[in-house]
Amino acid sequence: MSYYYKLGAIPHKRHTQFRQPDGSLYHEELISVQGFSGVQSLLYHLRPPTQVYKVLSHQDTKIAYEESSALRHRHLRTADVTAGGDAIAARIPLLVNSDVCISVAQPTEPMAYWYRFAHGDEVIFIHQGTGILESQYGVLPYRPGDYLVIPTGVLWRILPDAESEQRMLAIEAQGHIEPPQRYLNRYGQFLEHAPYCERDIRPPQDLVAHDEAGEFEVQIKAQGCITHYLYHYHPLDVVGWDGHLYPYALNIEDFEPITGRVHQPPPVHQTFAAAGFVICSFVPRLFDYHPLAIPAPYNHSNVDSDEVLYYAAGNFMSRRGIEEASVTVHPSGIPHGPHPGMYEGSIGKERTDELAVMIDTFRPLRLTAQATHLEDLNYLYSWSA
Ligand SMILES: [Fe+2]
């Protein structure tokens, strides 16, 4: 994140003696990305964060892919995917390349362990449900519409509220996910034209240092497997931290749409930038106001990207047959555009209530074997008059 934040107790000077009430030292940990040249935070633990006492097991995270098939536009209906398990176990990977893995999840249980992804940041879009994202950095309550941005290195778990039905879109990057550089000035502050700013970012709150002995499980996803570790002490034992690296929430309702007299291109919807892909938010907004404007998007040949849309709510103007939690994939190579009748039909419409998340990747995506079971095979022909 672009700005400095702190919670809890920290010493006046970094890397100096900071003592607990019994006179022993707190244990400082630097979490830094890109070696020592990226964002970083300093955390102060009750005990060293290094005390693994047992490796329980490790499991392969290998994904089964679709066999080769005809290049086509895809529509995946994810509304009825199997619910169950916690926020990690419930993930169903749908679309993958070397930069990103896009999954959906309908967890029904709290995570009984803490989790860290070692190779990149994650964004979890909360389509439905409330709960908390608990981490070494404090407690972050979430609600529908939140993008939970979790940098690599953060140890976290998701605890859904009781009787709150959960539906999530998980975007796991092999790199960092950040606000687009063009939204920031050279000091890292959000500029006036940015569609959101620091006031919309919700950092963790209520830091609790857990001083508990017992058996605590941590799972780390790295190098093609998830390894399960046991610790004798609660891993969330941080009394204070400061820095620029921390998980945060941004609600899609706080993304202010940019509109124009004629149709605005997708970059106006960009919310996050990552290595190899972007994340955009389509939110309720007024349509174009040129007297001859056509609000529906023009036909589009996306030559260098695969376009993925996750439909969260509202009536998606240019698409027929799409429902909540539908995912469409418009791969590079074949043009796409409004469905028959929608181009002319959009004229004179004043506003849209659509809510969707778009992920545009610069390398082709592969469908997983699980995704093929969700496919609406007629979608490719839905433009046929
Ligand atoms: Fe497009």
pLDDT single digits (tens) 325-349: 999 999 999 999 998 888 899 999 9
Q: How far is the CA of 251 from the centre of ligand 1 (A)?
A: 24
pLDDT single digits (tens) 35-53: 999 999 999 999 999 999 9
Q: How far is the CA of 95 from the centre of ligand 1 (A)?
A: 17
Chain centroid offset of residue 205 CA: 20
Q: How confident is the model at residue 315 (pLDDT cuts 50, 70, 90)?
A: confident
Mean pLDDT of the chain: 96
Q: How far is the CA of 341 from the centre of ligand 1 (A)?
A: 18
> Phi and psi at residue 128, in whole multiples of 5°?
-140, 150
Q: How far is the CA of 309 from the centre of ligand 1 (A)?
A: 10
Q: How far is the CA of 303 from the centre of ligand 1 (A)?
A: 10
**pLDDT score recorded for residue 318:** 56
**pLDDT score recorded for residue 320:** 72
Q: How confident is the model at residue 316 (pLDDT cuts 50, 70, 90)?
A: low
Q: How far is the CA of 196 from the centre of ligand 1 (A)?
A: 23
pLDDT single digits (tens) 221-274: 999 999 999 999 999 999 999 999 999 999 999 999 999 999 999 999 999 999
Q: How confident is the model at residue 121 (pLDDT cuts 50, 70, 90)?
A: very high
Q: How confident is the model at residue 321 (pLDDT cuts 50, 70, 90)?
A: confident
Q: How confident is the model at residue 1 (pLDDT cuts 50, 70, 90)?
A: low
Q: How far is the CA of 298 from the centre of ligand 1 (A)?
A: 9
- The pocket of ion ligand 1, defined by CB under 5 A, consists of 300, 307
C-alpha to C-alpha distances, 185 to 188, 192, 257, nearest whole angstrom: 5, 10, 20
Q: Region 279-283: what's the mean pLDDT?
A: 98
Q: How far is the CA of 301 from the centre of ligand 1 (A)?
A: 7
Hey, which residues does 242 pair with through a beta bridge?
6, 42
Q: How far is the CA of 307 from the centre of ligand 1 (A)?
A: 6
Proportion of the chain above pLDDT 70, given as a percent: 98
Q: How far is the CA of 219 from the centre of ligand 1 (A)?
A: 38
Please tell me what DSSP assigns to residue 212. -
Q: How far is the CA of 382 from the centre of ligand 1 (A)?
A: 16
Q: How far is the CA of 318 from the centre of ligand 1 (A)?
A: 11
pLDDT single digits (tens) 146-181: 999 999 999 999 999 999 999 999 999 999 999 999
pLDDT above 80 for 117: yes
C-alpha to C-alpha distances, 93 to 70, 78, 90, 262, nearest whole angstrom: 21, 11, 10, 37
- According to DSSP, the β-strands at 146-150 and 40-45 are unpaired
